[in-house]
Amino acid sequence: MSEVSMVVNGREVTGAVEDRTLLVHYLREHLGLTGTHVGCDTSQCGACVVHLDGKAVKSCTILAAQASGSTITTIEGLANGADLHPVQAAFKEHHGLQCGFCTPGMIMASVDMINRHPEGLDEATVRAELEGNICRCTGYHNIVKAVLAASETMSKGKAKAA
């Protein structure tokens, strides 16, 4: 057993976990944060993407013990109360989801992508960067539209703040 301590969605959490416990299982089973999905068990689908110390990671590839001392943001920690994050709002507005299973991972990967490309994004970049996230329903067209719209919204927000 290992004792883990981390900040998850702004809240400090601690607990004992088996050494082999994956971060995705710790979030879902120990903390009840079920928005982070387990999709493939092979780290290929991206349904489990969270932010670890500000960077998108597949939480099925990291042990909870490895994440101890880190700051984690899950899909549940992205919105500001009832106000959706711009990426969440864009997915809703541009119909970037169907069944919704991949959506949390897609959104978390997209937020990271937008943050790493403050100058803006183009369709080719979005498609290339989302290759690690699989959607079996949408064909990606509306996901790409949503990411581009959110990128534009977030860029304007940064320009206004400057």
Reported pTM: 0.94
| CB distance 113 to 126 below 8 Å | yes
| CB distance 23 to 63 below 8 Å | yes
To which CATH superfamily is domain 2-77 assigned? Beta-grasp domain (3.10.20.30)
pLDDT at 42: 87
Separation CA 105–CA 24 (nearest Å): 12
pLDDT grade for 158, boundaries at 50, 70 and 90: low
| CB distance 146 to 94 below 8 Å | yes
pLDDT value at 29 more than 80: yes
CATH T-level topology, domain 86-161: DNA polymerase; domain 1 (1.10.150)
Task: Map out the domains of the chain as residue ranges.
Answer: 2-77, 86-161
In whole numbers, what is the pLDDT of the chain averaged over residues?
Answer: 94
pLDDT at 161: 54
Sheet with 49-52: strands ordered across? 11-17, 2-8, 71-73, 49-52, 55-58
pLDDT at 156: 78
pLDDT at 138: 81
pLDDT at 1: 92
